[in-house]
Structure 1
């Protein structure tokens, strides 16, 4: 009886630890999703200007590009603790490959940084420069999404 009690207590503790650990990822998940929302908003500003859907505004374009660069400089590893993938928690499309192929994931994040640096250099110089730079940023996003993000269901 005593052994059963100890076993059940231990299992209850482990179960509650797992639940706490999973809920501990909510802040990480919100932070990285917020980061991607900031990217999306600013890419939308630049995309609308590049397509002529919004008037080109050099100052607004530069601010958007500067914001993209700032977000790309966030040190990613703290936002992606192991166990915060779509197989382990709900509310994310992050594939386990982010941890299984960590160097590739971080290289793709660095590729985004390079692409937004190019955007930052040209965003304020004219509408004709925004489109090609935006294509490079989109390519960097796609490279990571194709490999490390589950499709939208």
Structure 2
């Protein structure tokens, strides 16, 4: 398998966010578009790990390490410019963010901290069993956040 050149993660994420956010008209709409990009990157990397855990993709230590490191970086991303009060569901089209994100900011931060820890633990996964075990914590972190802080589809 030929390895593709990699952009530093922060540059790649910045390109994705700018490209997505540039389509929005207002600052709040841009923030929502940017955090959607963050969530898409979380979903993509979680999906890579999930496919390996389910046996839909072969174990590849490099992919596991990369996806876990990306999840970890995304969980650490400073959300100050993304999670802006006034961008909750109903205020901005396409937002599913519940108002609880701002009324329980420490709880919301704790959900990202759980993903940060789970992804850090996954970075050392040496085999398929470790990936399977680590997916419980990653999936649990995502579910806990969505159950508490994400509204229903519009």
Whether the TM-score (by the shorter chain) exceeds 0.5 is yes
Kindly tell me the number of residue pairs found equivalent between the two proteins. Answer: 130
| Distance across 1 between alignment mates of 2:119 and 2:53 | 15
**What displacement does 1:67 show?**
0.9
The ranges of structure 1 where at least 4 consecutive aligned residues each deviate by more than 4 angstroms after the TM superposition are: none
**Higher Rg of the two aligned structures:** 1
Residue number in structure 2 paired with 1:87: 90
Query: What do you get for the CA RMSD once the two structures are aligned?
Result: 1.3
Unaligned 5+ runs, structure 1: 1-21
8 Å CA contact 1:87–1:95 kept in 2: the answer is no
TM-score normalized by the length of structure 2: 0.80
**What displacement does 1:151 show?**
2.0
Query: Which SS does the other structure have where 2:91 is aligned?
Result: coil
| Distance across 1 between alignment mates of 2:111 and 2:88 | 17
Query: Which SS does the other structure have where 1:53 is aligned?
Result: coil
Residue number in structure 1 paired with 2:137: 136
Greater helix percent: which structure?
Answer: 1
Residue pairs, 1:117-132, within 5 angstroms: 117-122=120-125, 125-132=126-133
**What displacement does 1:121 show?**
2.2
State the Cα deviation string for residues 34-57 of structure 1 (Å, max 9, x = none): 011111111111111111111111
Unaligned 5+ runs, structure 2: 1-24
8 Å CA contact 2:96–2:152 kept in 1: the answer is yes
